[in-house]
Structure 1
Amino acid sequence: MKHSQAPMYKTLLAAAAAALFLSACAVGPDYVRPGTEEPVAFKENKDWKTATPKDQELRGNWWEIYQDPQLNSLVEQVNISNQNLVQAEAQFRQAAALVQSARAAYLPTVSASVSATRSGGGRNSSSTLVNSANGGSVSNSFSLGPSVSWEPDLWGRISRTVEANQATAQASAADLQATRLSAQATLAQDYLQLRVLDAQQKLLDDTVAAYQKSYQLTQNQYAVGVVAKSDVIQAQTQLKGAQAQALDNGVLRAQLEHAIAMLTGQPASTFSIAPTTMVAVLPAIPVGVPSTLLERRPDISGAERRAAAANAQIGVAKAAYFPNLTLSASGGFQSNSFANWLTVPNRIWSLGPALAATLFDGGARRAQSDQAIAGFDASVAAYKQTVLTGFQEVEDNLAALRILEQEAAVQDETVKSARLAVELILNQYKSGLVNYTSVATVQATALSAERSALDIQNRRLSASVLLIKALGGGWDQSQLPVNKVLNDRDATIAGAKPAAQ
């Protein structure tokens, strides 16, 4: 390097060294996780039957707790083929790509250009362009060279942007898990309700068969003059009503079957589930303590990560108050002769820092800073509300399970009494001691009791699924991608694909 270039070179090195030193600073507040009021214990948990010590935590495949192989198979299909999951996974990849884009600003921008131009000059008395033969001139210009530009992160604008994008990507990963858990829970609810409807269908079919026998009994007794025609008509009315209920039961079952097809990513027209007896059992669910809920629910983690992203945006807004330093360098060759283009005498270069600051913007930066602060306050409120909602959902479903367990015990006694009443009244009718109205009344009461018992069973199963969902399923905050993973795009994408757990 020539001696005349040394002062500029030293100036550039000094500017770069100062920039590197200052880039360790980042304006704006450092993130602190917002505080929340966490109860010591769930209010409804004191009477809850906890699981055995070996099952103190929900596992990843939480649906296996119901011990139904077909349910397990369907949930696995949800994990692979559910289109909402595919969409959430793509959105996570978008967020991860933004992290890479933000990190690219740490590094210099290197570009290269090559050009060849031919220009002419000279004007006649009419001020028109003429060629060289009429006294004008024509020149050639050839240039080739790279250029480097770098903006050091003096005030932490880039680092805060990276911090915000990383937190947003983690929130997107939590959203993916929340979408997955929601789809799994919805499928489990639909499937379990479908199986209860199968049990209800069997009850109605058995009832129709019983009513058919009662109708035949009244016809026989009417034929020998024991009972009036009204008994036959009443028995027939009761039979037709039961048949209508049996047919109507198929409407909801078909809708649930179609919903399950959609959740598993299959056309409803080609999907079916054969009726069978109930296999699933009501599980004992490990609840834990409220403090763990903040780490076990993906929606809470997502809301917390959005608060972190909003906090980093405050730093980005604050950095706009400070000047920007740009270090640039370029070099190459320039000549008006193609033959002598790439030679040492035609070498060119330039070095230099540039410092730019906004002196007046009409309050735009103040408005952006206020907007960022307000956005952070809103995200903190959303986070705290999500936490409160989480506690409410756990308490709601604990209460539902506790009360429904008591109701089921009472309803079981009601069913036993109703069945005994049917047996006694039917025998009395055969002996001519009561009219058919008494038979119809106790049979209707028994059917209602049986259906109520099945409804309670369905509500208990549904509440158990909702409790598991409220507890976060088998998910844990440690499953969120860390910043190191977010900086590795391939690893991030591989970890985000919706696949069977």
Structure 2
Amino acid sequence: MMHRWWLLTAMATLVGCATPGPQAPMVPPITPGAAGLAEESAAGIFPTQAWWRALGDPALDALIATALNSQPSLQTVAARLALADAAALAVQAANGPQASLSADATRQRFSGNGLVPPAVAGSTRDVVTLQADGRLGLDFFGRHAAALQVSLGQQRAAAAELQAARVLLSAQLARGWVGLARLLALRDLTVQQLAQREDQRALIAQRVAAGLDNAMLLRSAEGAVPEVRQQIEALNGQIVLARHQLAVLAGQAPQALATAAPALQPLRLAAMPDRIGADLLGRRADVVAARWRVEAARAQVDRARADFYPDIDLVGFVGLNALGLDRLLSLGSRQLGVGPALRLPLFDGGALRAQLGVRHAEADAAVAAYNAAVLQAAREAADAAATLRSLALQQAEQARAATAAEAAKGLAQRRHRAGLANRLGVLDADTAVLAQRAAAADLQARALDVQVQLMQALGGGWHDEPPPTARR
């Protein structure tokens, strides 16, 4: 036994025959300052996972719940996560103690001229073996630990990618829902505008018949009616397509939401945060996935470096071996052994160094992808915040314009009741009011859409949790 350990020690001294050599430093991850982010966000702004519930529409809640359970694209990503889970479990199992049991019974004629005892030479006997074998990896150089970290990193990245897909899908549905509500609101206002234009045409026709207006004004009023009808039909077509898009996003047939009619006015989301920090954007599922890809790639580097060093296992066996089944259970049939098993790379033509270089390059690429994900997240959040500020100013100006239009309409109505102006002035003022209401609906829908984009940019309220395999 001592000779074996001396042999093991002697072989370990030959490790220098295959060494990693110097390696360039890996690309560093981006810092919050370089991405234009504060270290911490304003307190209390992290959205809940079901952030869309704040919109206050139970129909949207039900639609998103259906989509999260039945959307085929999510099922594809979930299958990739299941594959990563199984791979992580397989690596854990492969790196643990291994044991097997074997049995063999062979009817054999022994050579009369071979290297066998005279009592056996030339005879035919049953050779029976019952043996248990075991192997335990002695991970002195971290090869098995690195392999496990690779699989766990890939598993965690897959879990984060699934959540990123869920956040993206819920945001697409919420944006589509707001877009459908906008189209329905604009159609309602356009229908009101059609009634107003028809009323205006009838009044002008009466005035032309009475000689108070010319026929050119009537022709203009008559042309305005089909123009508004065309706008209504265009909106009807957009509404049908929007319903189809929502239904397919939810994993349903295109006609499944043919009667969906969300109202725009009640929809609301929380106010924009004052400060968005790296701590918040760092929870975005796509950023988390990129970070776990970096961890997995760096573990691959550690694993490739460990390949330069001995792979040492402790192996052993215990069992019974006998000539003849009747003698198998006798004490003299016992056999056992235990000792180290070593695999040591000596000369490989540079293959190990090349593999290590590949892993370094892959780790650098993973860090670069992570840095790009952080910058993209920072940009999306900054874009949404800037757009919301601009829309808030636009809404304030539009509200003042709407107030002025309502005041002008009231004045026109009072002048008409007093006999100081004809009813055309009231209809013209009503046209301006409807235009302002359409502008208000459009701005409200745009603001809600950008708020949904901000919720998506903030990660949709996801908290990164270690997967079950990692916790074990």
**TM-score scaled to structure 1, two decimals?**
0.76
- How much does 1:243 deviate? 0.7
Alignment match, 1:260: 246
- How much does 1:140 deviate? 4.6
- How much does 1:341 deviate? 4.2
1:153 to 114, 139, 149: 139
| Distance change in 2, residues 1:255/1:138 (3 Å) | farther
Partner letter of residue 149 of structure 1?
R
Matched, 1:481 2:470: no
Unaligned runs of 5+ in 1: 1-6, 20-26, 123-135, 489-501
Matched, 1:327 2:311: no
Higher mean C-alpha deviation, range 64-73 or range 145-154: 64-73
Alignment match, 1:83: 72
2:47 to 26, 34, 58: 58
- How much does 1:335 deviate? 4.0
- How much does 1:209 deviate? 1.0
Matched, 1:248 2:234: yes
2:61 to 72, 85, 94: 72
Give yes or no for contact 1:29–1:315 (8 Å, CA) kept in 2.
no
Give yes or no for contact 1:218–1:231 (8 Å, CA) kept in 2.
yes
Alignment match, 2:88: 99
Matched, 1:269 2:255: yes
Alignment match, 1:133: none
Alignment match, 2:451: 464
Matched, 1:404 2:391: yes
1:111 to 93, 100, 108: 100
Give yes or no for contact 2:27–2:368 (8 Å, CA) kept in 1.
no
Partner letter of residue 197 of structure 1?
L
| Distance change in 2, residues 1:228/1:174 (3 Å) | same
Matched, 1:36 2:35: no
| Distance change in 2, residues 1:232/1:84 (3 Å) | same
Partner letter of residue 409 of structure 1?
A
SS at match of 1:296: coil
- How much does 1:312 deviate? 1.0
| Distance change in 2, residues 1:138/1:485 (3 Å) | closer
The correspondence of residues 65-464 of structure 1 with structure 2, limited to 5 A, is 65-118=54-107, 140-275=126-261, 277-278=263-264, 279-417=266-404, 449-464=436-451
CA distance in 1, matches of 2:328, 2:428: 108
Give yes or no for contact 1:29–1:311 (8 Å, CA) kept in 2.
no
SS at match of 1:239: helix
| Distance change in 2, residues 1:163/1:352 (3 Å) | same
CA distance in 1, matches of 2:107, 2:428: 106
- How much does 1:332 deviate? 2.8
CA distance in 1, matches of 2:24, 2:302: 7
Number of equivalenced pairs: 446
- How much does 1:395 deviate? 1.2
CA deviation profile, 1:317-341 (whole Å, cap 9, x unmatched): 0011112223322233344534444
Give yes or no for contact 1:146–1:331 (8 Å, CA) kept in 2.
yes
Higher mean C-alpha deviation, range 450-459 or range 147-156: 450-459
Higher mean C-alpha deviation, range 171-180 or range 230-239: 230-239
Partner letter of residue 37 of structure 1?
P
Partner letter of residue 36 of structure 1?
T
- How much does 1:447 deviate? 5.9
| Distance change in 2, residues 1:276/1:265 (3 Å) | closer
CA distance in 1, matches of 2:37, 2:395: 23
- How much does 1:346 deviate? 3.7
CA deviation profile, 1:346-376 (whole Å, cap 9, x unmatched): 4444433222222222211111101111111
Alignment match, 2:114: none
- How much does 1:399 deviate? 0.7
Partner letter of residue 318 of structure 2?
G
- How much does 1:253 deviate? 1.8
Partner letter of residue 363 of structure 1?
G
- How much does 1:463 deviate? 0.8
**TM-score scaled to structure 2, two decimals?**
0.80
- How much does 1:207 deviate? 0.7
Give yes or no for contact 1:58–1:286 (8 Å, CA) kept in 2.
no
CA distance in 2, matches of 1:137, 1:175: 68
| Distance change in 2, residues 1:375/1:219 (3 Å) | same
SS at match of 2:138: coil
SS at match of 2:316: strand
Task: State the percentage of identical aligned residues.
Answer: 28
SS at match of 1:284: coil
Give yes or no for contact 1:96–1:486 (8 Å, CA) kept in 2.
no
CA deviation profile, 1:209-252 (whole Å, cap 9, x unmatched): 11111222233334445444443332222111111111111222
Give yes or no for contact 1:282–1:461 (8 Å, CA) kept in 2.
yes
Give yes or no for contact 1:175–1:302 (8 Å, CA) kept in 2.
yes
Unaligned runs of 5+ in 2: 13-19, 112-121
CA distance in 1, matches of 2:236, 2:369: 42
CA distance in 1, matches of 2:323, 2:110: 15
SS at match of 2:313: strand
Give yes or no for contact 1:40–1:290 (8 Å, CA) kept in 2.
no
CA distance in 2, matches of 1:36, 1:144: 62
SS at match of 2:48: coil
